[in-house]
Chains A and B, each alone.
Chain A
Amino acid sequence: MTADDAATEYLLRLGDNCLILGHRLSEWVGHAPVLEEDLGLANVALDLLGQAQHWLGLAAELEGEGRDADWFAFRRDAGEFRNALLVEQPNGDFAHTMARQLYFDLWHVPLLANLENSMHAGIAGIAAKAHKEARYHLERSGDWVIRLGDGTEESHRRMQEAINELWNFTGELFESDAVEEVLAAEGVAADAGRIAASWRKRLGDILTEATLDLPQENWMRHGGRRGIHSEHLGFLLAEMQFLQRAYPDARW
């Protein structure tokens, strides 16, 4: 595949992750456990939606077929989305949301740090801003997991359950494939597999402080980046895309 094709594909992965996760977080607004958290979650969601617009917009540019970020967001079916399975999982309770967020943020921060050094100026620029935001997201999610893990018996139980249930979605974040190999060779992106070890170490440190156990299972679920998603994505997109699908020629 050409470097441009690989880059477009890669940008869609980045953008889809941010879009789907941002969408999931936005579902909390008005329903969070405390008012300050309605605002906090909304901020993370807004950051991610902003990042999604940038990544998908750049993908559209590179693809050169006259499409835009909105087209990618609202006109593709589930099979064409490239997000990791992790981000499309339902919010569940607050512990589940924070476990999902921690797993994602711990991966997102070093990934974006790498991309800041990309040979592709557009990618480097987006990554620089996103990196700052992701660091703040990680502060939040790490803090929450620690507080809930080392809070009450109930919060500890819920947090451990959430960590356990979402564990099997984390392996996909570090998969490598031809796309990443091509981009790594061009200096455009780095291989995600290289951050797996430090991800695991940092996660271990946080879980220890949270008095939680690190899951030990080795089997992982895959398929997101190939468009083989869980059943959740279809429902999510049905809701998200409804207006554009029902009124395909309308401008909003």
Chain B
Amino acid sequence: MNEMPLWEIFIRSQHGLAHKHVGSLHASDAAMAINNARDVYTRRSEGVSIWAVRSTDIVASAPGDKGPLFEPANSKAYRHPTFYDIPDEVGHM
């Protein structure tokens, strides 16, 4: 699917604080992700630090207990369908 990838955005709003996850957005590359993050999540305020990470690059731990409440097997953060590479031969999924 020819779609812009999803990025997770982390903002340090003041000196001394750690970056905090504020949400996601779409962008085609890193420069655009940073600029978009500035426009979407800081609305032009100066002096903030922005980290942008492709959502597919995030490796996550499995939620807490091994029991009926966790999705086994993969380490991606979301269920996003385009995270999973379906071979073209399989067709639309």
Contacts and interface: CB of A to CB of B under 8 A. Distances in A.
* Overall SS of chain A's interface: helix
Interface of B: 4, 25-28, 31-32, 35-36, 38-40, 43-44, 46
Interface in A16-40: 34-36, 39-40
Interface bracket on A: 10 to 19
A34 B35 CA distance: 14
Nearest to A40: B39
A34 B31 contact: no
A133 B44 CA distance: 9
A43 B39 contact: yes
A34 B44 CA distance: 19
Nearest to B37: A36
Contact of B35 (A35, A47, A133, A139): A139
Given A47-B44, A132-B46, A143-B31, A34 B39 contact: no
A143 B32 contact: yes
7 contacts: A36-B25, A36-B26, A36-B40, A39-B39, A40-B35, A43-B39, A140-B35
Contacts of A40: 35-36, 39
B40 A34 contact: no
